[in-house]
Each structure stands twice: as structure tokens, then as C-alpha cells.
Structure 1
Amino acid sequence: MKKALHLWHRYLGLIIAIPLLVISLTGSILVFKEELDHLIMPELAKVDAQVGTRLPYDQLNTLLKNRFRDYEIGSWEIFDDGQTADRIYLIKHGTLDWYKVYLDQYAGTVRSEPVPANFYLTDWLLDLHYKFLIGETGLWITGVASIILLFMGISGLVIYRQFWKKFFSLRLNVKRTAFFSDLHKLTGIWSAPILLVLGFTGAYWNISEIIHHQFEHHDEEKVVTGPLYNQALSLDAMAKNAQTQMGGFRTTYLLFPFEEGRQITFFGEVGDIGVLSSEYSSTVTFNKESGVLEPNFDIREAPAFFTVVDSFRKLHFGYFAGLTSKIIWCVIGLTPLIFTITGSYLWLRRRKPNQSRKQVPLSAQL
């Protein structure tokens, strides 16, 4: 059993080596996505509003509609930290194509013209990380890679089931094969818990997205030709109503009805629910035509399953404990590079004696 598991561990590791390297390296970079955006394009992503308040949603919405008459707003990332610009995602009329612009929510100025959603460096890396830049096919690839990563982590712990004896076992004054073997095992022991979390959460998201595409709206996608909701409705009134309906609710994301069956949904966070609760944990929804309040979702009243799923965001991106957890997640995300180098070397070393023997004439082997 152990021998078979070892073989599966070895060959599956070789199969997913390249995809896993791409996923892990991009993931390590994306842990600091916000910081990188502020650093490399501050004129777009960063605002300076130490004194001041956000402008009303309706005022900003009117500004966007007048500026981009050939587009409709599909979603709106909302920030009120005085440092990060709002991110607006537009859908071009007559298409299914999404575009992105930056908005200074304090000064009321649009920072950029519409560009494809994966145009900027970190957005391109996110698309590479999540879909390998090839859409739904990429979802399948990263989903399978995540499942195999789960198997690799579990099988590695089973193969070296007495791993607790080797938490600090790294022989230095030995041959390269022995050193690489120790490094491979030691790296796996230390990184396995986090890699299992990353693999599980990644696989869950990919599978969920695939199911959504295949069964929920695949045949319902329609091009956008005009307003997605009743333009007489006030976003400010709905936002105020959301706060009234759900005590402590703070809006962080606004989703418009770009698909059949969707309404206007305010995503946000509420207080006193734990360090792993995401900033999109709760929702308040309004009818897109009448503005009537529809059933909301308060994470504080939800079953445990939904609380666990909501925690996946912070667990996957590692920002639940500030800079400390981000650094740990970034470093652990680089460990597949060590696995690939050491694992490939050990595999080649094991094959070399057999290959050398095959090259010797049969008469010399007798």
C-alpha cells in the first residue's frame, strides 16, 4: 500500500509540476496584490483622503453613467479606507465583455478609461492564477491541480507518517541525493497544513465556478443592451436601508443584475463574527425594478457551513492576521518550487542506474 501510494505521489507530482509552479508563484505574488497596485500604479489605485468622506453613491453613479454611455456597471468594489480607489467593472453594450476603471470616490473623478478586466499586471496574474488565461478550460486545469495538491499533501503525510520525528531533520554534510531527500521531506512537513488549506479552498472555488457556468447560467447569457435595473432607484436609499435592516452592516461590494434572475445586491461585513469572516460575508438584496427589500443573508444567523465557506477567502489569500500571515502565506506559496527541484532530481537519480544498465550490451551483463 505504502509503495503504491509513493508511486502515485511521485508521478502525480511530476504531472502537475508546471501548472502547480504557475499557480503557486502567482499566488505568492497576489498575496500582496493591493500593496503592489499601490506601488506600481498609484495614480490609479491609490487615493489620499485622510480628511473627507465618500461622495454619495448616486452622485458617483451619475458621473459614471454620463462618462461611459456605451457601458453598464456590472459590479462595484467599494473602499472607505482613505487609501484605495474604488474599482468599477463595466459591461460594454452589445457584448458580454467586462472592462475595469478606477474611481476616486472622495474627489469624484474617474482615474482611467475602460480596459479589459485582466489588463493591469496584478489582474493579469490573477487570471493566470485562476484560469491560466484560457477561461473555463483553465478553471478545469486549476481545479484538477488543486485536487491533486490535496492528494499530494495527504499522501505525503501518510508516507512519512512519523513526520513529527523529523521536524528539524536536515542533514547538511551528506551527498546531494540525501540532502535533497531531507529538504523535500522537511519542506513538505512544514508547509503541508497551509498547502492543504490552499488546495482545498482553491478546489472548492473552481468546482463551484464550473458548476455555476455549466448548470446555472450557461444557456442564459445575454448581451447587455441597456440599463440593468430601474434607473429611478436610489443607491443611497438602498444602502441606508441595508444598514437599517442589518445592524453594523458596512457595504464593500455592489453587484448589479447582469444575469437573468439577479437583483441588486449589497455585499458587506458585520462586526463581532471572528477574524476569519470575510468582508463579503453578508448580503442585502433589493428588487431591481421596485427597490423592495428581498430576503437578506446575515452571516451571524447562518448555519455553520456558510460560516466555514465564508472563511475560505481569508484562509486562501492569507490576510486574516495582517502582514504576518501574508508573509507566511507568500513564503509557503513558493515551496512547490522546492518540491519540483528536489522531487525531479530524486526521480532522475532513481532512474539513472536502470538507464545506465540498459545501455550496456547484453553480453556484458551476463
Structure 2
Amino acid sequence: MAANRFALRKLWFQIHKWIGIALFMPVIIVSISGSALVWDEWLSGTLYPSRHHAESEVALPPSAYAAAGREALGAGERILSLEFGEGEPVLLTAAQPPRPEGGRPVRTRIWLDPADARVIDMAASNEGALRFLHILHGTLFVPEVGRKLVGWLGVAMLLSSLTGLWLWWPTKRRWFRGLRWKRGNGLSTNLHHQTGFWACIPLAMLSLTGAWISFPAFFGPLVGDAPPDRAARIARMSVQPMAETRLGPDGALASAQAMAPGHGVEIAWPTDRSAEWKVVLAEDEGSSEYLVGDATGEAVAAPPEEPRRASVARTMRVFHDGNGMGLVWQIIIFVGGLVPAILGITGIVMWLRSRGWRRAVADRTREAAKA
């Protein structure tokens, strides 16, 4: 029995060691970029403050912002929507023409001064530091198979977390003896043991949820989730605004306001999927949405959206991203993303030290044999 337990422990040690050595760099990149993305809103406000703060309120009709945005757009780009946020610039989003090679649709975003419709900033949806971090974290910039590669990294990290917990567990005496600082010689060894233990559960959770996000078609059926409809998702993302409209944003807003008082929060243009304007009005108690026919100018209240079906996949994404989970959880997953760097560095130091120790023993053995 003891021999079998020793052999199993040796096997887990080899798996744990070579996962850490072989995947050191990609794991570090994915983990640290994920930690940064926990604070994506703060990063966006820090990197691009002009996109988030405006000194004046909306002072012009929607058509004025649309006209200013059109002058800044490139050939073939069409306006998709205008968004009006309190104390923020007006955000205009436009669709770029579909690319011959296909791929994710690209949107152009223009931030306009609410006072005079002056262009404050402009960027494509596939540009910028945050977009770089998202692609790095999700695909490592590897074409075609990057998402799957990151998913397998999640599987490897989960296995590393579980084997690490096994190796942390004391072979003698009670388990809480493992909590003592001095588990071995040197700072690296002790830091590796203690950091690995306290971060084991968050690391395992981040690894599992990351793999789940990367392989929804595999994990979904295991828990009864419907398989992801990739074609429908691409169709929703690929909508193109109508080339010509009859009503205009001012008319659409006026028709909606005739139904209910309130100021415009969002105006979305008719598209190739729906010949209606969508107008969202902020009211005393929340907001309401109206659909305005482009040909008739008639406004009707938008039908209430069906509640999104709860799914394990959506829960996994919330746990992984930390969105809406509160500050404590965000701090936990932020630290959990930094821990692999500590474990990787200390693990490699331990490995190099053990190689040096074995080399020294072998040298002494050879010298003794010669004597």
C-alpha cells in the first residue's frame, strides 16, 4: 500500500512539474492578462479619460451628432446607433463594410462633445489596449486554434492545481502541519507551498471556468445546456444599417416621445434585419423602449424581452470575469491571476536547484568511485 502511494505521488509530482515547466510562459501571459481585465472599466477610464467624461450635457438634436459623425467616417461606413449618457460624451457606433475574408465584424466608435458635436476620439472595435488584452487572453493571438489552445491551458492549469494540492498534503501527521511556513529549504520552496495551497481553489475555479468558456460544445451537453448557436450569433453581430432612411433620428425620437415623456438614451438605426428605429427613453422610473417604423413614423412599445434562460455556461462566465460579483470576488480572481507567475517562478527555481543538487551528488559519487 505504501509503495503504491509513493508511486502515485511520484507520478503526480512529474505531471505537476512538467506542466509548470512546459507551459510556464503561455500560462503567465493568459493569467496576467486576465487579472488586468478584471479592472477593464477602470483601465478604460484611465487610458481614455476623454471617452468617459464630458463637461456639458446634450445640447443638440440627434441629427447634429449623426452629421458630425458621418463627416469623420470612412467610405462605406454606416451609422448603427447613438448613445447619450449622463455626464459622458455622445457615443456614435458605425458598421464598417463586411470584409471579403469574413471574420468578426468591425465597428467604428466616435465620441462626440455633447455641447457642439466636436469629435473627441475615434477608434475601431478591433483597436486599442483593452482589445489587445482581450485577444491576448482569449487566443494568445494564435489564428484559428487560439481559443482552443487557451482552453487546453485551462485544463492543464486545473490538473496542476489538483496535483499541487495532492503534493502539498503532508505525508505524515495531520494535514494542518502543511500550513507551517518551513516546508523545505529556501524561500522559493516555502513560498511555492504556501501560495499554492491558499490559491488552489481560486486557481482551479478560474481554470475550469476558462476551459468551459473555450469548449461550450463539449461541456454544455454534460449539464443540459443547449449547444451554442454560432450561426445566429454571427448573424446578430453582422447586421448592416439601411443605406437610406426616410425618417431620420430626430423624427424617430419625436415619435417615441409622443408616446411617453423622457429624454433619449439610445437611438438605433434600421438595419437589414429590421426596418424599424429603436429608441430608448429614460423616464422617472427606469427606461422604456419603442420601435418606430421608418416608412410610417408610427411608434409602438417594444415587446418585453424574454428573460434569458439561466445556463451553467453563463454562470461560468460570470465567475470567470467577475462582472457583477462585487469587489471581494474581483480581488480574489485578480490575485488568482497573478499567483501562477509566483508559482511558475518559484517552481522553476526549485527545479533548477534540484538539478544542481543531483549534479553535485553525481559528481561526488564519481569522485568517490575514482578514489
Corresponding residue number in structure 2 for 1:122: 130
Is residue 2:151 matched to residue 1:151? no
| Alpha-carbon spacing, 1:180–1:110, altered in 2? closer, same or farther (3 Å) | same
Distance in 2, Cα, partners of 1:195 & 1:84: 39
| Alpha-carbon spacing, 1:102–1:202, altered in 2? closer, same or farther (3 Å) | farther
Corresponding residue number in structure 1 for 2:9: 2
Is residue 2:53 matched to residue 1:47? yes
Q: Which amino acid aligns with 1:320?
A: G
Please tell me whether the aligned partners of residues 86 and 105 of structure 1 are also in contact (alpha carbons under 8 angstroms). no
Is residue 2:194 matched to residue 1:191? no
Q: Which amino acid aligns with 2:344?
A: T
Please tell me whether the aligned partners of residues 72 and 228 of structure 1 are also in contact (alpha carbons under 8 angstroms). no
Corresponding residue number in structure 1 for 2:182: 171
Corresponding residue number in structure 2 for 1:20: 27
Distance in 2, Cα, partners of 1:133 & 1:262: 35
Q: CA deviation at 1:348?
A: 2.0
TM-score by length of 1: 0.65
Please tell me whether the aligned partners of residues 154 and 207 of structure 2 are also in contact (alpha carbons under 8 angstroms). yes
Q: Which amino acid aligns with 1:42?
A: P
| Alpha-carbon spacing, 1:235–1:164, altered in 2? closer, same or farther (3 Å) | farther
Q: CA deviation at 1:235?
A: 8.8
Is residue 2:96 matched to residue 1:91? yes
Distance in 2, Cα, partners of 1:294 & 1:229: 26
325, 330, 335: which is aligned to 2:334? Answer: 330
Corresponding residue number in structure 1 for 2:36: 29
Distance in 1, Cα, partners of 2:133 & 2:68: 30
Is residue 2:350 matched to residue 1:346? yes
SS in 1 for 2:121: coil
Distance in 1, Cα, partners of 2:86 & 2:178: 41
1:104-131 residue CA offsets vs partner (Å, 9 max, x unmatched) = 485555433444x343222212221222
Is residue 2:51 matched to residue 1:70? no
SS in 2 for 1:103: strand
Q: CA deviation at 1:256?
A: 9.7
SS in 1 for 2:111: strand
Please tell me whether the aligned partners of residues 38 and 321 of structure 2 are also in contact (alpha carbons under 8 angstroms). yes
Q: CA RMSD in A?
A: 5.1
Gaps of 5+ in 1: 245-250, 269-283
Q: CA deviation at 1:12?
A: 1.2
1:234-253 residue CA offsets vs partner (Å, 9 max, x unmatched) = 99979x99xx9xxxxxx999
1:161-215 residue CA offsets vs partner (Å, 9 max, x unmatched) = 569625742239x731xx322211211221122222221222222224999xx99
The structure with the larger Rg is 2
Please tell me whether the aligned partners of residues 46 and 85 of structure 1 are also in contact (alpha carbons under 8 angstroms). no
- What's the % identity of the aligned pairs? 21
1:80-121 residue CA offsets vs partner (Å, 9 max, x unmatched) = 464587474643355446254243485555433444x34322
| Alpha-carbon spacing, 1:316–1:47, altered in 2? closer, same or farther (3 Å) | same
SS in 1 for 2:109: strand
Distance in 1, Cα, partners of 2:159 & 2:81: 37
Gaps of 5+ in 2: 1-7, 221-227, 260-264, 281-288
Distance in 2, Cα, partners of 1:289 & 1:321: 40
1:10-67 residue CA offsets vs partner (Å, 9 max, x unmatched) = 1112121100111112122222222122223212x22236x75799988866765564
Q: CA deviation at 1:298?
A: 0.4
Distance in 2, Cα, partners of 1:182 & 1:53: 59
Distance in 2, Cα, partners of 1:263 & 1:150: 48
